Amino acid sequence: MNATHETVQRDEAGIRLLREQAAQAAHHSYAPYSRYHVGAAVLLEDGRIVTGCNVENVSYRLSVCAEQAAIARAVSEFGAHIRIVAVAVANSDSDLACQPCGACRQTIAEFADASCRIFYPSDGGKPGECTLADLLPASFSQESLH
């Protein structure tokens, strides 16, 4: 059975909820090795929010990032046609910065346009915002294959 997902507008209240959902998701994180608990929430173009958290493994390189978990869940539940319009990332330590890692940027790009908004804790935990284009300029994309 599918989980229920919050549906929001793309306004400031919706973005606040997106950030809150990312912070909530961080509480489910399994990070016994790094102790860096990350949550992510992706906002789909129809307003649905899907969350994920990082899931580490004793064989470290098998660890899954929160953004990738959220995106895999969104595709699993709603199908390959999903489009992501915004992503929020949070960690359980509000003082630490947490921008999506390089692999997550590429994973987001698979399902988002360059204008996709990215929300993250910046220096000192202050709310940061940028676009996917800021994080992944000159990206390798499907157009690159043709």
Is 67 designated active site? yes
* Phi-psi sector, 82: left (phi>0), alpha (psi -120 to 50), beta: beta
Closest approach of ligand THU to the CB of residue 1, in Å: 26
State the Rg of the chain over Cα: 14
**Nearest residue to 49 (alpha-carbon basis) of 39, 59, 35, 64:** 39
CB of 101 to ligand THU, least distance (A): 4
Residue closer to ligand THU, measured from CB, 67 or 112: 67
Helix residue spans in 30-145 (DSSP H): 66-78, 102-109, 132-135
Would you say 33 or 140 has its CB closer to ligand THU? 33
Catalytic residue among 6, 45, 56, 67: 67
Min dist CB 56 to ligand THU, Å, is 5
CA distance 69 to 110: 14
- Return residues touching ligand THU (CB under 6 A): 31, 34, 36, 38, 54, 56, 63, 65-67, 100-101, 104
Q: How many CB atoms lie within 10 A of CB 58?
A: 8
Which one, 62 or 145, has the nearer CB to ligand THU?
62
Which residues are catalytic, by number? 67
